[in-house]
Amino acid sequence: MQDLRLKPRHMTPDDNHRSRSIYPGAALAIAAVMFVGFARNYCLRAWLGTRVITLMVHIHGLVMTAWVVLFVTQTLLVAKHRVDLHRKLGIFGAGLAAVVLGLGIFTIIHSIERQQPGANSALFMELFVAFDGISLLVFAGLVLAGVLYRQRRAIHKRLMLIAMISLLPPAYGRLIANVTHENVELLVLGMMYASALSGLLVDVWRHRRVHPAFATGSGLIIASSQLTYFAQTYTP
């Protein structure tokens, strides 16, 4: 007779050791991209001697740093079987995600008003998209869906990972700009395609199918990235 203690009935293929190790690795990789991307402008600004930033930009940076640290911590807690702490921190995380959204929108609006004062509604919307506003809304939608599906682990963790990927365009843009200022928007678009599709490929490799959460989230990221590229390319 099979010993059911070896594999509890509630265990799914996503609960094995290899699955638990992938998400912390992905979280650390995303954190590394964001750290390196914003090293000159924020993370290592005191040592690299870049331009002075405003108080609002500093607050925005602190909030985003807190979100990235929280995301990495959450993935590590699950990998260490501390789901109890993961759930407690999740309450704080939901509130922090709302702050990320609100502060991000405020920062984008402030940037538009500074660069294009008196912009009409059509131009304002184009600039909002060009400044990664759609990506920010996609992030908020994915996090909200992740919270709603928090009891369904396979869906929850995929939605949260895709939500983090949706925040990568600014970091990618700065990484590329450190090397070249040619075709930055196109290169960012390519990197977002690669990042979004990587989750699909991993699911196919591990489970021989694409999870609907990855398919939906990746589709949203690709669509928002394409819209952002068009806005950045064609907005006067």
Map out the domains of the chain as residue ranges: 18-234
Predicted local distance difference test score (pLDDT) of residue 114: 84
Quick check: 206 and 19 in contact, CB under 8 A?
Answer: yes
Choose the weakest-confidence range: 157-171, 180-194, 206-220.
206-220
Predicted local distance difference test score (pLDDT) of residue 49: 61
Count of Cβ atoms closer than 10 Å to residue 46 Cβ: 8
Is the pLDDT at 55 greater than 90? The verdict is no
Task: Please write the tens of the pLDDT for every residue from 110-147.
Answer: 888 888 887 788 888 989 999 999 999 999 999 999 99
Quick check: 71 and 160 in contact, CB under 8 A?
Answer: yes
Which residue in this structure is represented by tokens 């914003």? 38
Q: Give the span between the Cα atoms of 69 and 203, in whole angstroms.
A: 25
Predicted local distance difference test score (pLDDT) of residue 22: 80
Higher-confidence position of 200 and 67: 67
Q: Give the span between the Cα atoms of 12 and 205, in whole angstroms.
A: 17
Task: Please write the tens of the pLDDT for every residue from 149-183.
Answer: 999 998 999 999 999 999 999 999 989 988 888 88
Query: Comparing C-alpha atoms, which of 136, 97, 96 is closest to residue 228?
Result: 136
Amino acid at 211: H
Query: Comparing C-alpha atoms, which of 187, 197, 210 is closest to residue 165?
Result: 197
**Structure pTM?**
0.84
Q: Per-residue pLDDT averaged across 91-101, rounded?
A: 93
CA angle 109, 158, 42 (to 5 degrees): 40
Query: Residue 17 is encoded by which pair of tokens?
Result: 């050791």
Give the mean pLDDT of the chain: 84
